[in-house]
Amino acid sequence: MLNRRKLLRLLGLGSVAAPVVSIAAGSTRIQSPLEVLDTYVAGLQHYQSLKIVHSMATGDLLELKREPDNQHDANAIAVYWQTKKIGYVPRVNNLALSRMMDKGQQIAAEINWLDDHPWQPVGLVVRIWV
C-alpha cells in the first residue's frame, strides 16, 4: 500500500525541507512539503527583471501573491524576489495553485534554476504542505 511517506520518497521529496508541525484540536500532526509545480517565471521582460537576474541565486526564496483583480487573468499569481515583482506564474500553470492559495493553503516557492535563455531565465519550484 502506498502511503504519504512512501509517495514522498518515491517522488524524491522525503528530505526536501524540514517538516512543519501543526497543532489542531489538541493533536499534533507533522506536515511534509510536496512539490506541486516546477516551471519558469513568465513576463520577466515586463518588470525589468532581466537587469537583476544576475543578482539572483538558485535556492533564493520567492514570494507568491494572488492578484484576483488582475484585468488579464483572474487566476494571476505574481512572483516577487526580495520585494521586487519579477513576473508571474505562467497562466497555463496557475489555475489549481490560485485555488489553493485562495483557500489559505501554505505555499513556498524558490528559484530552482537560472539560465541564459532570454525569455525564460528563471525557474521556480512551488511546494505545499500536506
The answer, yes or no, to whether residue 8 has pLDDT greater than 50, is no
Instruction: List 72's β-bridge partners, or say none.
Output: none
Q: Give the pLDDT of residue 46.
A: 87
The per-residue pLDDT of the chain, averaged, comes to 83
Half-sphere exposure for 15 (CA within 13 Å, toward CB): 0
Domains of the chain: 33-129 (3.30.70.2330)
Q: Rounded to an integer, what distance in angstroms lies between the CA atom of residue 14 and that of residue 32?
A: 8
pLDDT digits (tens, 9 = 90+) for 59-71: 999 999 999 999 9
Q: Give the pLDDT of residue 31.
A: 74
